[in-house]
Structure 1
Amino acid sequence: MNETSLTALFTLLFALILLSAFFSSSETGMMSLNRYRLKHMAKTGHKGARRAQGLLQRTDQLIGVILIGNNFVNILASSIATVIAIRIWGDAGIAIATLLLTIVILIFAEVTPKTLAALFPEKIAFPASHILGPLLKILYPIVWSVNLFTGAILKLLRISPEDAASDHLSREELRTLVNEAGALIPAKHKDMLVSILDLENVTVNDIMVPRNEIVGIDLEDDTDTILRQLKSSQHTRLPVYKGDINNIQGILHLRSATKLLQQEEINKAMIMQLCQEPYFIPESTPLNTQLINFQKGKRRFGIVVDEYGDVLGLATLEDILEEIVGEFTTDYAATSPDIIPQDDGTFIIDGTAAVRTINKTLGWKLPTDGPKTLNGLITETLENIPETNVCLKVDGHRVEVLQIKDNVVKAAIVHPRKRKRRSLKISQA
């Protein structure tokens, strides 16, 4: 063989190796594309993203055309390399060609291009889509035939392409995606997104103002007492009841009550005329459902009741929004917080403090699947109502009861959970 034909064969072999590298990198690049980023880029008009998205809609055809091209050029490269090796080294050239071509293809046509494509999938996949699209149209009969046989084999194995995992993210996967977003999403926004995902797992009785803390207007009080209460109220909406909180007659908005305060004489009938019809919420309603219910009913305030219709507390739209964005309103009780840190690292906590609030504020993990308040947690652990100040352990935290009144723990000292010390084993020679 003359030098010209040998040079031509080497040139063709080099070109085939480049084509093999192209197909290998295209396959990895296409499969490594972030599908959600791809959808976003396609919606914004990115042409390369649109082409790649179109090819990925039929993954079987895309893989078929890539593998057909890759196998064709690899087999042709092997044949040409064998011819060159035999002409140079004789019969021993077959083994030499096999060894050398395997190394060359492995390094330059497989590992290197696939690694680059995995690191920079968009830079590889988008330009490759210019070639893969027309190539798929040209080789479609062959691709269709190959996929026909492939589909038949999958049916024999009782595997259906519809059984493959979809692109839709589950709630937990979305939570992981948000948490792993890093600096792409500010920490505050990340907390808000995770809180929205958690709304389904939180019910209204987790965030409600408990019954014993409800401030309302008792129609059995005298008119002067009611007027003083209206003038000094810290709340914008007050439940109006008769004798007992379970007998709620309506909800009074203080904006409407200002009309009463401007009149010389008022009576309870006038108060009732300004009241709105009470809105009741079952205690087990998830927050995401209640948020929608508030929106549909154009309401911001509801009374939480149990299965027997007894009042358990009240919940507001602001309470649900604070679960998402955190505290954003001025707390009129900020001068007497429920959690007071001490110099020795302990905390004096009000018995009515919600367990979820304690966990959020202090970063603890007290159980939330049972009682909703610290008082409830203590009484459940003791399995009785303490009559004297006692000390107990709740989920690894040492709790000292400080004050008991009306069969309720009013305050307790809670110690942070102690970290386990690692024991050191010393071996002697």
Structure 2
Amino acid sequence: MDNTMIIYIIGLLLLLMSSGFFSGSETALTAVSRARMQALISQGNKRAIRVGKLHQKMEKVISTVLLGNTLVNALTAVLMSTLLTNTFGDTGAMSAVGAITATAFLYIFSEVLPKTFAINNADRFSLAVAPMVQFFVNLTYPITHVTHLICSGFLRLFGLKIVNHLGAEERMEELRGAIQLHAGSVEEIQDTGQMLHSILDLDDVPVSDIMVHRRNMTMLDADLPIEEIVNQALSSPHTRIPIYRGDPDNVVGVLHAKALLRALHANQWKFEGLDIVALAGKPWFIPDSTDLLAQLEAFRSRHEHFAIVVDEYGALMGIVTLEDILEEIVGDISDEHDIKVTGVTSEADGSYVMDGTVTIRDLNREFGWQLPDEHASTIAGLVLYEARRIPMVGQIFVFYGFRFEILDRRRNQITRVRLTPPDSETKKGDAATATPDAASNSETMVSVRIEPKKPGGGTTGAAA
């Protein structure tokens, strides 16, 4: 083997390695974890800082890598053909063999092998190659810049525009995707993911979805005898209690238990002379359309924990507290004075019997379901929205794969529902499928099962 042959072989190896470098660098810099790089940047890692700078101009990085890869691959094909021609003679067959051989070597050793390694070691690989990639980016800047201008101008001819930076909505979706991507089976990771999702959803959830409804509120009538008011206040598990006069919509103050106890102590534990309304703080009214993020910020700025929710007409809707918003993030917070009423009972057949007032968000959080909550906040509201009618007791519906059986109704309000998840419903296999009502906005097929009339009872089927 003469010196020329050795030079050709060494040149081929160098070209293959160069092509592998460009291919692996492109894959690593594209697949690198930006979150880990940001953590290293905050620690002052110089290579991570360089990777971050490369990410800010990825279009130039890609142009540089493609330029280098194209040049190296072309030289590899030429050198491989020259080497085979000098060895076996100048024939057409040798040219074809040279092209095939060069393609095979480039495919295996310069594409698949380095990219496989890079995709499985993206962080380490990108940190290692960042200085060299930065050098080539600076070296080829005149060529890549002109290329970028030509491509941008060509795309504008077709009305297309290159967007280098993501908007707020795209970044939010990217963040949601990152949270979902790293969600695993470990309970701690699932809990953390749920809390992060809840934080991102705060500005999409109105206070009306989490407030304590007025029918479940504890309120004090200012016109009652002082002794009865004090007894009701002290027997309540709540620290802050709204006070009304004449009509529940006429809230005149919010009584704090500590203020009441201090007044009783100052009055030597006597009821005479106490003015409950004077002891109460000024009520804070908020509209029911206020989102949780805005309300959380308002709680912080006003240094308050309690607000009264009213509708557009000023009618009392309910109350919302700081604890209610925090529970939307971290889950249920129970203390020794809480009255825990979940309203959900698990059945042996895999179904759940629940109150109609149970919120969809709580069910999704607790069981990992994906029931929609855009048009209704409670399970009863979801049934009403999808059924497009007020159902009768015994009627059975199937929405989004879940089976809803109406167990109880008071006037026009659904009070108890039996809900069977898709897994349990599949085992039964007895629900008939029908096309959804044309008036429904749901894209999910809605199934309704018609049940026969029970002896001594009303019709249990749902009219189509």
The TM-score, its normalising length taken from structure 2, stands at: 0.77
Q: Aligned partners of 2:171, 2:377: CA distance in 1, in Å? A: 28
- Cα distance per residue 1:37-83 (max 9 Å; x no partner): 33332232222222222233222332333233323333333333333
1:178 aligns with 2:183: no
Q: Aligned partners of 1:382, 1:147: CA distance in 2, in Å? A: 55
Q: Are the structure 2 counterparts of residues 66 and 237 from structure 1 closer, same or farther at C-alpha, using a change threshold of 3 Å?
A: same
Residues 260 and 266 of structure 1 are in contact (CA less than 8 Å); yes or no, is this contact kept in structure 2?
A: no
Q: Aligned partners of 2:10, 2:384: CA distance in 1, in Å? A: 85
- Cα distance per residue 1:170-190 (max 9 Å; x no partner): 444433321221358622212
1:23 aligns with 2:30: no
Residues 375 and 408 of structure 1 are in contact (CA less than 8 Å); yes or no, is this contact kept in structure 2?
A: no
Q: Are the structure 2 counterparts of residues 400 and 363 from structure 1 closer, same or farther at C-alpha, using a change threshold of 3 Å?
A: farther
Q: Are the structure 2 counterparts of residues 368 and 53 from structure 1 closer, same or farther at C-alpha, using a change threshold of 3 Å?
A: closer
Q: How far did 1:98 drift?
A: 2.1
Match of 1:338 in 2: 343
What is the percentage of aligned positions where both structures have the same residue?
30
Match of 2:236 in 1: 233
| Matched position secondary structure for 1:99 | helix
Match of 2:455 in 1: none
- Cα distance per residue 1:337-389 (max 9 Å; x no partner): 63445667666645655555566556667775566556767888695698xxx
- Cα distance per residue 1:212-250 (max 9 Å; x no partner): 222122111112211222332221111111122111111
Residues 346 and 413 of structure 1 are in contact (CA less than 8 Å); yes or no, is this contact kept in structure 2?
A: no
Q: Aligned partners of 1:152, 1:235: CA distance in 2, in Å? A: 67
Match of 2:253 in 1: 250
Residues 391 and 406 of structure 2 are in contact (CA less than 8 Å); yes or no, is this contact kept in structure 1?
A: no
1:400 aligns with 2:407: yes
Match of 2:462 in 1: none
Residues 390 and 412 of structure 2 are in contact (CA less than 8 Å); yes or no, is this contact kept in structure 1?
A: no
Q: Aligned partners of 2:350, 2:165: CA distance in 1, in Å? A: 53
Q: Aligned partners of 2:353, 2:75: CA distance in 1, in Å? A: 80
Residues 219 and 268 of structure 1 are in contact (CA less than 8 Å); yes or no, is this contact kept in structure 2?
A: no
Match of 2:220 in 1: 217
| Of 332-341 and 99-108, the range deviating more from structure 2 | 332-341
Q: Aligned partners of 2:27, 2:383: CA distance in 1, in Å? A: 57
Match of 1:159 in 2: 160
- Cα distance per residue 1:94-122 (max 9 Å; x no partner): 33322222222222122222222222223
Whichever residue aligns with residue 77 of structure 1, its letter is T
| Of 365-374 and 87-96, the range deviating more from structure 2 | 365-374
Q: What is the 5 A alignment of 1:260-279?
A: 260-262=263-265, 263-264=267-268, 265-266=270-271, 270-279=275-284
Residues 23 and 69 of structure 1 are in contact (CA less than 8 Å); yes or no, is this contact kept in structure 2?
A: yes
| Matched position secondary structure for 1:186 | helix
Q: Aligned partners of 2:7, 2:117: CA distance in 1, in Å? A: 29
Whichever residue aligns with residue 186 of structure 1, its letter is I
Residues 227 and 271 of structure 2 are in contact (CA less than 8 Å); yes or no, is this contact kept in structure 1?
A: no
Match of 1:289 in 2: 294
1:89 aligns with 2:95: no
Residues 203 and 284 of structure 1 are in contact (CA less than 8 Å); yes or no, is this contact kept in structure 2?
A: yes
| Of 172-181 and 328-337, the range deviating more from structure 2 | 328-337
Q: Are the structure 2 counterparts of residues 106 and 367 from structure 1 closer, same or farther at C-alpha, using a change threshold of 3 Å?
A: closer
Residues 392 and 399 of structure 1 are in contact (CA less than 8 Å); yes or no, is this contact kept in structure 2?
A: yes
Q: Aligned partners of 1:76, 1:303: CA distance in 2, in Å? A: 75
Whichever residue aligns with residue 67 of structure 2, its letter is I
Match of 1:426 in 2: none
Whichever residue aligns with residue 72 of structure 2, its letter is V
1:6 aligns with 2:5: yes
| Of 357-366 and 327-336, the range deviating more from structure 2 | 357-366
Q: How far did 1:400 drift?
A: 2.2
Q: Are the structure 2 counterparts of residues 312 and 268 from structure 1 closer, same or farther at C-alpha, using a change threshold of 3 Å?
A: farther
Q: What is the 5 A alignment of 1:48-87?
A: 48-87=47-86
| Of 339-348 and 192-201, the range deviating more from structure 2 | 339-348
Match of 1:416 in 2: 420
| Matched position secondary structure for 1:414 | strand
1:121 aligns with 2:142: no
Select the structure of larger CA radius of gyration.
Answer: 1
Q: How far did 1:301 drift?
A: 0.7
1:204 aligns with 2:203: no
Q: Aligned partners of 1:365, 1:147: CA distance in 2, in Å? A: 44
- Cα distance per residue 1:394-417 (max 9 Å; x no partner): 553222228x5xx58696463535
Q: Aligned partners of 2:375, 2:252: CA distance in 1, in Å? A: 31
| Matched position secondary structure for 2:74 | helix
Residues 217 and 318 of structure 2 are in contact (CA less than 8 Å); yes or no, is this contact kept in structure 1?
A: yes
Residues 222 and 276 of structure 2 are in contact (CA less than 8 Å); yes or no, is this contact kept in structure 1?
A: no
Whichever residue aligns with residue 160 of structure 1, its letter is K
Whichever residue aligns with residue 300 of structure 1, its letter is H
Aligned residues: 416
Whichever residue aligns with residue 304 of structure 1, its letter is V
| Matched position secondary structure for 1:419 | helix
Unaligned runs of 5+ in 2: 431-464
| Of 322-331 and 214-223, the range deviating more from structure 2 | 322-331
- Cα distance per residue 1:264-303 (max 9 Å; x no partner): 4445763222211101121122222211121122111111
Q: Aligned partners of 1:146, 1:415: CA distance in 2, in Å? A: 60
Partner residue of 2:262 out of 242, 246, 259:
259
Residues 355 and 417 of structure 2 are in contact (CA less than 8 Å); yes or no, is this contact kept in structure 1?
A: no
Q: Aligned partners of 1:148, 1:413: CA distance in 2, in Å? A: 63
Q: Aligned partners of 1:219, 1:51: CA distance in 2, in Å? A: 68
Q: How far did 1:25 drift?
A: 1.8
Q: Aligned partners of 1:36, 1:212: CA distance in 2, in Å? A: 47
Match of 2:311 in 1: 306
Q: Aligned partners of 1:205, 1:167: CA distance in 2, in Å? A: 26
Residues 355 and 416 of structure 2 are in contact (CA less than 8 Å); yes or no, is this contact kept in structure 1?
A: yes
Q: Aligned partners of 1:267, 1:97: CA distance in 2, in Å? A: 108
Residues 391 and 399 of structure 1 are in contact (CA less than 8 Å); yes or no, is this contact kept in structure 2?
A: yes
Q: How far did 1:253 drift?
A: 0.6
Q: Aligned partners of 2:384, 2:30: CA distance in 1, in Å? A: 56
Whichever residue aligns with residue 40 of structure 1, its letter is A
Whichever residue aligns with residue 399 of structure 1, its letter is I
Q: Are the structure 2 counterparts of residues 267 and 375 from structure 1 closer, same or farther at C-alpha, using a change threshold of 3 Å?
A: farther
| Of 368-377 and 73-82, the range deviating more from structure 2 | 368-377
Q: Are the structure 2 counterparts of residues 269 and 155 from structure 1 closer, same or farther at C-alpha, using a change threshold of 3 Å?
A: same
Residues 345 and 415 of structure 1 are in contact (CA less than 8 Å); yes or no, is this contact kept in structure 2?
A: no
